[in-house]
Protein backbone atom coordinates (compact mmCIF):
# COMPACT_ATOMS: atom_id res chain seq x y z
CA UNK A 1 0.00 0.00 0.00
CA UNK A 2 2.87 2.39 0.75
CA UNK A 3 4.27 2.06 -2.76
CA UNK A 4 0.80 2.70 -4.19
CA UNK A 5 0.42 5.84 -2.08
CA UNK A 6 3.79 7.01 -3.38
CA UNK A 7 2.57 6.43 -6.95
CA UNK A 8 -0.63 8.39 -6.26
CA UNK A 9 1.49 11.14 -4.69
CA UNK A 10 3.69 11.26 -7.79
CA UNK A 11 0.59 11.62 -9.98
CA UNK A 12 -0.69 14.41 -7.72
CA UNK A 13 2.64 16.22 -8.15
CA UNK A 14 2.39 15.70 -11.91
CA UNK A 15 -1.11 17.23 -11.89
CA UNK A 16 0.16 20.23 -9.93
CA UNK A 17 2.94 20.67 -12.49
CA UNK A 18 0.29 20.57 -15.23
CA UNK A 19 -1.66 23.31 -13.49
CA UNK A 20 1.43 25.52 -13.28
CA UNK A 21 2.08 25.06 -17.00
CA UNK A 22 -1.61 25.58 -17.82
CA UNK A 23 -1.84 28.84 -15.86
CA UNK A 24 1.30 30.20 -17.50
CA UNK A 25 -0.03 29.19 -20.92
CA UNK A 26 -3.46 30.66 -20.19
CA UNK A 27 -1.88 34.04 -19.43
CA UNK A 28 0.15 33.80 -22.66
CA UNK A 29 -2.98 32.91 -24.68
CA UNK A 30 -5.12 35.66 -23.16
CA UNK A 31 -2.40 38.22 -23.88
CA UNK A 32 -2.73 37.23 -27.55
CA UNK A 33 -6.52 37.37 -27.66
CA UNK A 34 -7.13 33.76 -26.64
CA UNK A 35 -10.74 32.89 -25.94
CA UNK A 36 -11.90 30.13 -23.58
CA UNK A 37 -14.70 27.88 -24.79
CA UNK A 38 -17.01 25.64 -22.78
CA UNK A 39 -15.69 26.58 -19.37
CA UNK A 40 -18.82 25.19 -17.69
CA UNK A 41 -17.65 21.60 -17.90
CA UNK A 42 -14.13 22.31 -16.60
CA UNK A 43 -14.99 22.20 -12.86
CA UNK A 44 -16.53 18.75 -13.39
CA UNK A 45 -13.31 17.53 -15.00
CA UNK A 46 -11.39 18.78 -11.96
CA UNK A 47 -13.84 17.03 -9.62
CA UNK A 48 -13.53 13.76 -11.55
CA UNK A 49 -9.73 13.81 -11.50
CA UNK A 50 -9.52 14.72 -7.81
CA UNK A 51 -12.06 11.97 -7.06
CA UNK A 52 -9.92 9.47 -8.97
CA UNK A 53 -6.86 10.36 -6.91
CA UNK A 54 -8.80 10.04 -3.65
CA UNK A 55 -11.02 7.08 -4.50
CA UNK A 56 -8.33 4.73 -5.82
CA UNK A 57 -6.24 4.57 -2.62
CA UNK A 58 -9.41 4.73 -0.49
CA UNK A 59 -10.79 1.68 -2.27
CA UNK A 60 -7.51 -0.16 -1.84
CA UNK A 61 -7.43 0.64 1.88
CA UNK A 62 -11.14 0.27 2.75
CA UNK A 63 -11.81 -2.84 0.67
CA UNK A 64 -8.35 -4.31 1.22
CA UNK A 65 -7.61 -4.65 -2.47
CA UNK A 66 -4.49 -6.72 -3.06
CA UNK A 67 -1.62 -5.93 -5.37
CA UNK A 68 -1.88 -8.60 -8.07
CA UNK A 69 1.45 -8.61 -9.95
CA UNK A 70 -0.05 -9.98 -13.18
CA UNK A 71 -2.38 -6.96 -13.28
CA UNK A 72 -0.45 -4.36 -11.31
CA UNK A 73 2.83 -4.33 -13.23
CA UNK A 74 1.26 -4.03 -16.70
CA UNK A 75 -1.08 -1.31 -15.41
CA UNK A 76 1.90 0.55 -13.94
CA UNK A 77 3.53 0.41 -17.37
CA UNK A 78 0.35 1.88 -18.90
CA UNK A 79 0.39 4.68 -16.31
CA UNK A 80 4.00 5.50 -17.15
CA UNK A 81 3.31 5.39 -20.90
CA UNK A 82 0.24 7.61 -20.42
CA UNK A 83 2.41 10.18 -18.62
CA UNK A 84 4.89 10.04 -21.47
CA UNK A 85 2.14 10.61 -24.03
CA UNK A 86 0.65 13.45 -21.97
CA UNK A 87 3.97 15.29 -21.73
CA UNK A 88 4.67 14.64 -25.42
CA UNK A 89 1.39 16.46 -26.08
CA UNK A 90 2.38 19.29 -23.73
CA UNK A 91 5.75 19.62 -25.43
CA UNK A 92 4.28 19.48 -28.92
CA UNK A 93 1.65 22.14 -28.25
CA UNK A 94 4.05 24.29 -26.25
CA UNK A 95 2.38 27.47 -25.02
CA UNK A 96 -0.86 26.41 -26.69
CA UNK A 97 -1.36 23.45 -24.33
CA UNK A 98 -3.87 24.01 -21.56
CA UNK A 99 -6.21 22.16 -19.23
CA UNK A 100 -8.94 24.43 -20.55
CA UNK A 101 -10.16 24.88 -24.11
CA UNK A 102 -8.51 28.14 -25.14
CA UNK A 103 -8.07 29.17 -28.77
CA UNK A 104 -5.73 31.93 -29.87
CA UNK A 105 -7.12 33.47 -33.07
CA UNK A 106 -5.05 32.99 -36.20
CA UNK A 107 -2.92 30.09 -35.03
CA UNK A 108 -3.06 27.01 -37.27
CA UNK A 109 -3.86 23.53 -36.00
CA UNK A 110 -0.89 21.60 -34.71
CA UNK A 111 -0.25 18.56 -36.91
CA UNK A 112 3.08 17.30 -35.59
CA UNK A 113 4.14 15.05 -32.73
CA UNK A 114 1.29 12.77 -31.62
CA UNK A 115 -1.15 15.07 -33.43
CA UNK A 116 0.10 13.58 -36.70
CA UNK A 117 -1.82 10.41 -35.88
CA UNK A 118 -4.55 11.41 -33.42
CA UNK A 119 -6.73 14.49 -33.14
CA UNK A 120 -6.89 14.28 -29.33
CA UNK A 121 -3.88 12.27 -28.10
CA UNK A 122 -3.95 13.87 -24.65
CA UNK A 123 -7.37 12.35 -24.07
CA UNK A 124 -5.98 8.94 -24.99
CA UNK A 125 -3.50 9.47 -22.15
CA UNK A 126 -6.29 10.54 -19.78
CA UNK A 127 -8.41 7.49 -20.60
CA UNK A 128 -5.48 5.07 -20.31
CA UNK A 129 -4.36 6.54 -17.00
CA UNK A 130 -7.90 6.64 -15.61
CA UNK A 131 -8.28 2.94 -16.18
CA UNK A 132 -4.74 1.86 -15.30
CA UNK A 133 -3.96 3.92 -12.20
CA UNK A 134 -6.66 2.32 -10.03
CA UNK A 135 -5.96 -1.13 -11.47
CA UNK A 136 -2.29 -0.95 -10.42
CA UNK A 137 -3.64 -2.00 -7.01
CA UNK A 138 -6.88 -3.74 -8.08
CA UNK A 139 -9.21 -0.79 -7.41
CA UNK A 140 -11.61 -1.90 -10.11
CA UNK A 141 -14.64 -0.02 -8.76
CA UNK A 142 -12.76 3.26 -9.04
CA UNK A 143 -11.56 2.33 -12.53
CA UNK A 144 -15.15 1.63 -13.62
CA UNK A 145 -16.64 4.74 -11.99
CA UNK A 146 -13.95 7.10 -13.31
CA UNK A 147 -14.12 5.59 -16.79
CA UNK A 148 -17.90 6.13 -16.93
CA UNK A 149 -17.69 9.70 -15.61
CA UNK A 150 -14.72 10.48 -17.82
CA UNK A 151 -16.49 9.15 -20.93
CA UNK A 152 -19.39 11.52 -20.30
CA UNK A 153 -17.06 14.46 -19.65
CA UNK A 154 -14.85 13.76 -22.65
CA UNK A 155 -17.89 13.54 -24.91
CA UNK A 156 -18.72 17.12 -23.94
CA UNK A 157 -15.09 18.26 -23.92
CA UNK A 158 -14.24 16.90 -27.37
CA UNK A 159 -17.41 18.41 -28.83
CA UNK A 160 -16.50 21.80 -27.33
CA UNK A 161 -12.89 21.55 -28.47
CA UNK A 162 -13.81 20.52 -32.02
CA UNK A 163 -16.29 23.40 -32.27
CA UNK A 164 -13.74 25.87 -30.87
CA UNK A 165 -11.16 24.72 -33.40
CA UNK A 166 -13.68 24.79 -36.24
CA UNK A 167 -13.54 21.03 -36.74
CA UNK A 168 -16.40 18.70 -37.44
CA UNK A 169 -16.41 15.18 -36.10
CA UNK A 170 -15.68 13.93 -39.61
CA UNK A 171 -13.31 16.62 -40.79
CA UNK A 172 -11.43 15.03 -43.69
CA UNK A 173 -8.99 17.95 -43.71
CA UNK A 174 -7.67 16.87 -40.31
CA UNK A 175 -5.69 13.98 -41.77
CA UNK A 176 -2.16 14.97 -42.80
Residues 6+ apart with CB under 8 A from 125: 82, 83, 85, 86, 89
Asked whether 89 and 113 are in contact (CB, 8 A), the reply is: yes
Give 77-131 pLDDT, tens digit per residue.
999 999 999 999 999 999 999 999 999 999 999 999 999 999 999 999 999 999 9
Burial class (CB in 10 A: 0-12, 13-18, 19+), 140: middle
Residues forming beta bridges with residue 101, ordered by sequence position: 37
Q: Three-state SS for 103?
A: strand
Q: What is the pTM of this model?
A: 0.91
Amino acid sequence: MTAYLLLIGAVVLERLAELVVARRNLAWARARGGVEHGGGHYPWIVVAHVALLIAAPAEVWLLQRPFVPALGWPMLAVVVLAQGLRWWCVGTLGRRWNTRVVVVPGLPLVRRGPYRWLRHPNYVAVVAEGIALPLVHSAWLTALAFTAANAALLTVRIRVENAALGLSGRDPAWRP
